[in-house]
Structure 1
Amino acid sequence: MLLRALAILTSLAVIAGCATPTRYVDPAADDGPVAMTMDYRDFEKAATDAVEDMLASGAVDNPDGGRYIMVVSRITNDTMQRIDTDQLTKKIRVALLRSGKVVTTTAVGLDGAEDEMAMKARELRDSEEFDQSGVQGRGTLQAPDLSLSGKILQRNHRVGKEQQVEYYIQLSLTDLASGLAIWEGETPIIKRGSNKAVSW
C-alpha cells in the first residue's frame, strides 16, 4: 500500500514538473500561436482599424468645435462563440476619447444606463440629508449626437485539408439628428488552420 502511494506521488510530481509554466504575455509583442477563435489580438486590430478610419474620414470632426457625444447601441454577436462585445467597443471608446474628438455617454443605453449613478445621484434632490449645492441640477445630462452599432459575423469553410474561419466586424456610426450613417467600416479577420482546431 505504501509503495503504491509513493508511486502515485512520484507520478504526480513528474506530471507537475513537465507542465508548461504559467507566464505573462506582452500584448504588444505576442508572437504566440494563433487561435481559430477570436482573441484579444483580433479585437485590438478591429478597434484600431475602425478608429483610424473614422478619424481619417473626418466623420468625428465636429464643425461646431468641441467633441461629439456618442452612445453605444447594439453590437450583435453572430458567431459560434460567446463574445462579450465590450471587448471591442471599450477599445474604440478609449481611442476616440484620447483623440479629443468624442466622449461616450454612460447615462443612456438600449438596456438602460451603463452607469446608473447618473440618475441615482439626481434622486438626492430635495433630500434634507444632502447639501443641495452639490446635487446635480435639472437639465445637466448631455444627450448623444452619435450612435455606434454593429455586428460580428463568423463563416466557416473547408479549404482543401484545412478549415478557414472568417470573421467580419461591421460597424456603423449614426448621426442621431438625421438618422444617417456618417461612417461605416468592416474589418475582415481570416484564419486558416487544422480541421481539428475548434472555432467555437
Structure 2
Amino acid sequence: MLIRAFAVLISLVVLAGCSTPTRYIDPAADDGPVAMTMDYRDFEKAATDAVEDMLASGAVNNPDGGRYIMVVSRITNDTMQRIDTDQLTKKIRVALLRSGKVVTTTAVGLNGPEDAMTEKARELRDSDEFDQSGVQRKGTLQAPDLSLSGKIIQRNHKVEKEQQVEYYIQLSLTELSSGLAIWEGETPIIKRGSDKSVSW
C-alpha cells in the first residue's frame, strides 16, 4: 500500500515537472495562438472600433457642453458561447469616460440599478442614526441621455477542409429623448482554422 502511494506521488511530480509552466501574458504584445472562440483580443478590438467611430462621428459631442450621461441597456449574446457582455461594455465605458464626453450612470438599468448602493444610501433619510447633512438629498440623481444596446452574433461555415467562424458585434447608441439611434456600428471578427477546433 505504501509502495503504491509512493508510486502515485512520484508520477504526479513527474507530470507536474513536464507540464507547460504558467506565465504572464502582456495583452498589448500577445502574439500567441488565436482561439476560434472569442477572446480578450476580440473584445478589445470591438470596443476600440466602436469608441473610435463614436468619437469620430461626433455622436457623443454634447452641443450644450459637458458630458452626456449614458446607461447600458441590453447586449444580447447570440453565440454558442457563454459570454459575459460586460467584457465588451466595460471597455467601451472606460474609453468613453476617459474621452471626457460620456459618463455612465449605475443608478438605473433594465434589471434595477447596477450599483444598488445609490438607492440604499437614500434610505438613510430621516434616520436618527445618521447626520442628515451628509445624506443624499432628493432630486440629485441624473437621468441618462443615451442608451447603449447591441447584439453579438455568431455564424459558423465549412470552408473546404476548414471551418470559418464569424462574429458580428453590433451596437446602437440611442438618444432617449427622441428614441432615435444617433450612432450605430458593427465590428466583424472572422476566424478560419481547423474544423476540429471548438467554437463554443
Normalising by structure 2, we get a TM-score of 0.97
Equivalence for 1:29: 29
Q: CA deviation at 1:11?
A: 2.8
CA distance in 2, matches of 1:133, 1:163: 63
In 1, the alpha carbon distance for the partners of 2:193 and 2:76 equals 26
1:89-139 Cα offsets, whole Å, 9 max, x none, are 000000000000000000000000000111111111111111111111110
Letter in 2 for 1:89: T
Measure, in 1, the Cα distance between the counterparts of 2:113 and 2:42.
28
Within a 5 Å distance, the mapping from 1:32-181 to structure 2 comes to 32-181=32-181
For 2:184, the aligned partner's letter is E
- Cα separation, 1, equivalents of 2:139 and 2:184: 32
Tell me how far 1:15 sits from its aligned partner: 1.4
* Runs of 4+ with >3 A deviation: 1-10
Q: Deviations over 1:3-61 (max 9, x none)?
A: 55554443322211110001111111111111100000000000000000000000000
More displaced, 6-15 or 70-79? 6-15
Distance 2:160 2:174 in 1: 41
Letter aligned with residue 160 of structure 2: G
- Give, in angstroms, the shift of residue 2 of structure 1: 5.9
Paired position in structure 1 for 2:194: 194
Report the equivalent of 2:184.
Answer: 184
What's the CA shift for 1:65?
Answer: 0.2
Query: For residue 183 of structure 2, what is the amino acid of its counterpart?
Result: W
Paired AA for residue 149 in structure 1? S
> Counterpart of 2:123 in 1: which secondary structure?
helix
Which residue in 1 is equivalent to 2:16? 16
* Residue segments in structure 1 that go unaligned for 5+ positions in a row: none
Moved more, 119-128 or 154-163: 119-128
CA distance in 2, matches of 1:72, 1:53: 18
CA distance, structure 2, for counterparts of residue 24 and residue 129 of structure 1:
49
Per the normalisation by structure 1, the TM-score is 0.97
CA distance, structure 2, for counterparts of residue 150 and residue 63 of structure 1: 25
| Matched-pair identity in % | 88
Cα distance change of structure 1 residues 5 and 110 upon mapping to structure 2, 3 Å threshold: closer
